[in-house]
Homo-oligomer: A and B are copies of this chain.
Amino acid sequence: MNFSSKLLENAVEEFGRLPGVGKKTALRLVLHLLKQQDAEVTRFTQSLNLLKEKIQYCKECYNISDDEVCEICLSVKRDKSTICVVEDTRDVMAIENTNQYQGVYHVLGGLISPMDGVGPSDLKIEGLLQRLRAGDVKEVILALSATMEGDTTIFYLYRKLKEFNVQVSTIARGIAFGGELEYVDEITLGRSILTRVPYERNVG
């Protein structure tokens, strides 16, 4: 691209580094911001600087938090004996949105992925084991993606958690609500038959 301005080119290059943002989209976003009031652009950049500067990770569950301990870990309404292990903060948000879970979380900060150079020591696994050592935990739910990285991480965690006196469970895999049988892949369908659930439990 032939930029008439080095400043414009720099800004477009920075936006183009964002995941899923190509050069043309970057240019569109930058020109949009350029048309806005000064105050709006300042607010945009400040929100990002503030976030980067002040953000903390809950020292209990490692979720993104504005304070030392996050709201969920602080809440007396949450059941501290159940820990749901997730990959990142987006998963916490997704599960919170279901309004089906009353326990607490543990955010790993990633999944084991040798291809990407992510090993167990890069994740907050030691923090999880410490919480178990502190006692009072009855169940650990592994709510990780149904991918190779997710399964690898589940396998690793399961072996680590065996030495503790806790129930380890994984979230159910099967056909989605509204999913039509003929379009479900074979592995999911096969597993959903093997892990079938008594009718009374599914409607309960």
Q: How far is the CB of A145 from chain B (nearest CB, A)?
A: 15
Cβ of A176 under 8 Å from chain B: no
Please name all residues of chain B whose beta carbon is closer than 8 Å to the beta carbon of A129 when the two chains form the complex.
none
Q: A18-B29, A49-B45, A93-B2 are known contacts. Are A34 and B55 too (CB-CB below 8 A)?
A: yes
Tell me, yes or no, whether A38 is within 8 Å of chain B by CB.
yes
Counted per complex, copies of this chain come to: 2
A5→B5 CA distance, assembly (Å): 37
Smallest Cβ-Cβ distance to A46: which chain B residue: B45
| A17 / chain B contacts, CB cutoff of 8 Å | 44
Q: Chain B residues with Cβ under 8 A from A44's Cβ? A: 14-15, 17, 48
Q: Which of B1, B19, B27 contacts A28 (CB 8 A)?
A: B19
Contact A10 B47 (CB under 8 A): yes
Query: Closest residue to A56 on the B side, CB-wise?
Result: B5
Q: Does A77 contact B (CB under 8 A)?
A: no
The answer, yes or no, to whether A33 is at the interface (CB within 8 Å) is yes
Contacts A7-B55, A18-B29 supplied; 19 other A-B pairs, CB < 8 Å: A1-B93, A2-B93, A2-B97, A4-B63, A4-B71, A4-B92, A5-B65, A7-B51, A7-B66, A8-B55, A11-B48, A11-B50, A11-B51, A14-B48, A18-B33, A20-B28, A27-B93, A31-B90, A33-B48
